Amino acid sequence: MAKKNIDQYEDIRSNVVRKKKKKMKTKDKVIMVISIIVIIASLLTIAAVAFLNWKPISGGKLDSSGYTPPEIRGKSMNFLLCGIDYEEGTSRGHLTDVIMLVNFDIAANKVNILQIPRDTYIGTDETSTGKINAVYGRSNNGGIKGLASIINSKLKLPVDQYATVTMTAFRKVVDGIGGVKMNVPQTITLEGVTIQKGEQVLNGVQAEKFVRKRKGTGLYATGSDTERVKMQRLFVAALANQMKKTSVTKLATVITSVIGDVTTDMAVKDVIGFAGMMQKVDLSKMKIEMLPGAGRTAPSGQSVYAVDKDATAALLNAKFRPYATQVSASELGVPQLANVTNENEDTGNDFGELTGGEVLPGRKSSSNSGS
């Protein structure tokens, strides 16, 4: 199956070469999918592989009852993007350690990205830990369909399509595009790998450590998953710049290297449709937000990320429900732990802020963040 679709992609690419003038717009659309839709996924391989339509997902499409209503879908739709922290031969479980819901506001040519921290508390009726990242690995009602259902029921957000990618693919993509140049806020060490503070070109292994780093000193002093989430945001913006500079030839090579590590329900027509949307979006103004909340201890004794329901309702209504009915805090299905307030100084950034080098994720200026 994979070889057939690689050949199909090579045929498409050959047509672009043979008919340069006629096919230029199609080629531009493909580049846009690979370098923009993929960028917003934090792992940046999803749309590239989706273009090949190479691997049907076991279990089929999501439950249509969780889709954006038909009367709105022409104006807005949501895409669930997940990074799976699992590899054979390691102790890592089937956990969605990166969860993002991307809203495409088609009518207004806007894109908003919601980062859902892996430790977000959804209640012990759903998982033994009460954390959202364990939903994917559940034996009953798990996988991507189970996770989409949780997002439907707990946050009252529709999910129309999805993609998942492993850390293996993440490393391959970063190495395949020649590494990612970024300004590292502070020196960090994780699992024997040290990354120095300052401007660096991160390879695949270094990039993985950067997006997985959670505990330490300085920016990581709290040991909170929210700092990791915000640093992932910084990496996404840096990778956006790198992908824009990557050639079609190199991207084609990257695609073939990650075939076994990405799953999606997107068809070729879906990707081309997204490409058309994204051509109208100003990348520098794409907004990336974190689900509002704070670190707390759950009744089970687990350290979790507790959602601030009032702040969450306001954010979701403003940025992730365009053209839909507003949902109040009381209607959200997430548990409300005691004394939760949004402790993040600024939960949102746009890509322009992050790539400008003066702003750290979740903060208005680097001077507010410490060293």
Please give, one letter per residue, the 3-state secondary structure of 61-126.
CCCHHHCCCHHHHCCEEEEEEEEECCCCCCCCCCCEEEEEEEEEECCCCEEEEEECCCCEECCCCC
d(CA 211, CA 118): 13
Write the Ramachandran bin of 37: left for phi over 0, alpha for psi from -120 to 50, otherwise beta: alpha
pLDDT value at 368 more than 60: no
Question: Pick from 216, 167, 207: which is nearest to 187 by CA?
Answer: 216
pLDDT value at 23 more than 50: no
Give this prediction's pTM: 0.75
Question: Pick from 6, 4, 3, 2: which is nearest to 252 by CA?
Answer: 6
Span 245-268, mean pLDDT? Answer: 69
Report for 79-83, 144-148, 253-257: range of highest mean pLDDT: 144-148
pLDDT value at 121 more than 90: yes
Span 290-294, mean pLDDT? Answer: 89
Residue with tokens 């717009």: 25
pLDDT over 90, % of the chain: 26
How many CB atoms are closer than 10 A to CB 289?
Answer: 24
Q: Amino acid identity of 141?
A: N
Contact 292, 311 (CB under 8 A): yes
Span 311-338, mean pLDDT? Answer: 94
pLDDT value at 141 more than 70: yes
pLDDT value at 114 more than 80: yes
Long-range contacts of 98-103 (CB under 8 A, 24+ apart): 98/42, 98/43, 98/211, 98/232, 99/132, 99/133, 99/147, 100/40, 100/41, 100/42, 101/151, 101/157, 101/159, 101/320, 102/40, 102/41, 102/78, 103/76, 103/77, 103/78, 103/319, 103/320, 103/322
pLDDT over 70, % of the chain: 64
pLDDT value at 120 more than 70: yes
Q: For residues 171 and 89, which has the higher predicted lDDT (pLDDT)?
A: 171
Report the SS3 class of residue 193. Answer: strand
pLDDT value at 191 more than 50: yes
Q: What is the dihedral of CA 167, 169, 172, 177, to 10 degrees?
A: -110
pLDDT value at 32 more than 50: no
pLDDT for res 176: 87
pLDDT for res 217: 81
d(CA 95, CA 118): 9
What are the phi and psi torsion angles at 79 (to 5°)? Answer: -125, 125
pLDDT value at 312 more than 50: yes
Span 354-370, mean pLDDT? Answer: 52
Dihedral sign from CA coordinates of 256, 259, 262, 264 = positive
Q: Kind and range of the H or E element at 183? A: strand 180-184
d(CA 127, CA 143): 13
pLDDT value at 154 more than 90: yes
pLDDT tens digits along 201-217: 999 999 988 888 878 88
pLDDT for res 362: 63
pLDDT value at 6 more than 90: no
Q: For residues 318 and 258, which has the higher predicted lDDT (pLDDT)?
A: 318
Report for 154-158, 189-193, 360-364: range of highest mean pLDDT: 154-158
How many CB atoms are closer than 10 A to CB 318?
Answer: 12
d(CA 101, CA 160): 10
Contact 334, 154 (CB under 8 A): yes
d(CA 338, CA 358): 35
Span 104-132, mean pLDDT? Answer: 90
Integer CA distances (angstroms), 235 to 166, 202, 204, 207, in order:
17, 10, 12, 8
pLDDT for res 17: 38
256 DSSP assignment? H
Contact 184, 198 (CB under 8 A): yes
Task: Give the pLDDT band of residue 276 (cuts 50, 70, 90).
Answer: low
List the domains of the chain with CATH numbers.
55-174+223-246+282-357 (3.30.420.590)
Q: How far is CA 252 from the centre of its chain?
A: 22
Average pLDDT of every residue of the chain: 74
User: Which pairing describes strands 161-166 and 76-84: parallel, antiparallel, or unpaired?
Assistant: parallel
Report the half-sphere exposure of 357 (CA within 13 A, side-chain side). 7
What is the spatial order of strands in the sheet that 262-264 belongs to? Answer: 262-264, 161-166, 76-84, 96-105, 110-115, 287-290, 349-350
